[in-house]
Amino acid sequence: MNWSRTLTVARTDVRQLVLAKDFWMPMGILGSIFFVVVPLILLLSITSLGDVAAVQNIADTLDLLPQQAQEQIRGDTPQGRTSYALAVFLFAPMAVVVPLTISTAVGAASLVGERERGTGEFLAHSPAGTKEIYLGKLLASLLPGYFTTMVGFTAYSLIVNLIVGPEVGGWFFPTTQWWLLMLWVLPGFLLIGLSLVLRLSGRVRSTAAAQQASGLITLPLIAVSYAQASGAIYGTPTTTIVIGAIAWSIGVASTWRGMSAVKRQRLLGVADGV
């Protein structure tokens, strides 16, 4: 295993993505919608509405949250408590959906794309090992989604602190749970998703087929991630760490198995069934 070659594959793939405006512009727009536009509208609306019945109703529903989560909520007014709860709890799953969507799109095209463009021939004749190629592609698929999410997360943190902060007595975001979610749980789920998508990408005949099939895999995974991300935020830090550890374990096992998905013959497009 030559890590230098793995990084070379990853770096070259990322470079190609950076040069592809048709890729990163939609990616930026998607991140902006989830991390900036929607939170901005929602939080601004709530904080500027004042003590109206609608806000009071939402504030009342906060009693349905787990005790652990209720204890975390800060703020003395209904709009303060409501906007805090929305900022901390509602948007957590988005942090998982955005990178999974972006990374899946990249990963689905990665191996089958080499074959379609004919560059698989170059890789097949190169000294790079199939495991190195697989891991390089996995890294190159993971980074754009994770990077977009981290940029979006930074913007989101700023928005939350600027809008909700004054209502609850100062800047409070990211909370410990959010740090754990972003730095520990999220990469684990990304790893699970991408290891599966890359295996598909190594086996199917076209990028279109890879994207169709990866949708089937990632939709349930997004649903699970959505639930787990919520759990991670509502629960204690220990719960979050355990959820992350489970995700990482599954992700690593799946990646290990996935490394056998890359075959030189498949890169050439002549393996059985390809």
Write out the residues near another protein by the rule CB under 8 A.
4-5, 8-9, 12, 15-16, 19-20, 117-122, 124-129, 264-265, 267-268, 270, 272
Contact 114, 157 (CB under 8 A): no
Smallest distance, another protein to C-beta of residue 259, A = 16
Question: Considering beta carbons, is residue 135 or 185 the nearer one to another protein?
Answer: 135
Question: Considering beta carbons, is residue 94 or 261 the nearer one to another protein?
Answer: 261
Question: Considering beta carbons, is residue 28 or 269 the nearer one to another protein?
Answer: 269
Question: Considering beta carbons, is residue 4 or 67 the nearer one to another protein?
Answer: 4
Token pair listed for 38: 């929607």
* CA proximity to 107, closest of 169, 196, 29: 196
Smallest distance, another protein to C-beta of residue 122, A = 4
Burial (0-12, 13-18, 19+ Cβ within 10 Å), 121:
middle
Question: Considering beta carbons, is residue 113 or 152 the nearer one to another protein?
Answer: 113
Amino acid code (one letter) for 155: A
Whole-number Cα distances in Å, 208 to 68, 112, 171, 236: 45, 9, 45, 41
Smallest distance, another protein to C-beta of residue 25, A = 15
Smallest distance, another protein to C-beta of residue 3, A = 12
Smallest distance, another protein to C-beta of residue 131, A = 12
**Cα–Cα distance, 218 to 144 (Å, whole number):** 17
What torsion do the CA atoms of 96, 98, 99, 103 make, to the nearest 10 degrees?
Answer: 130
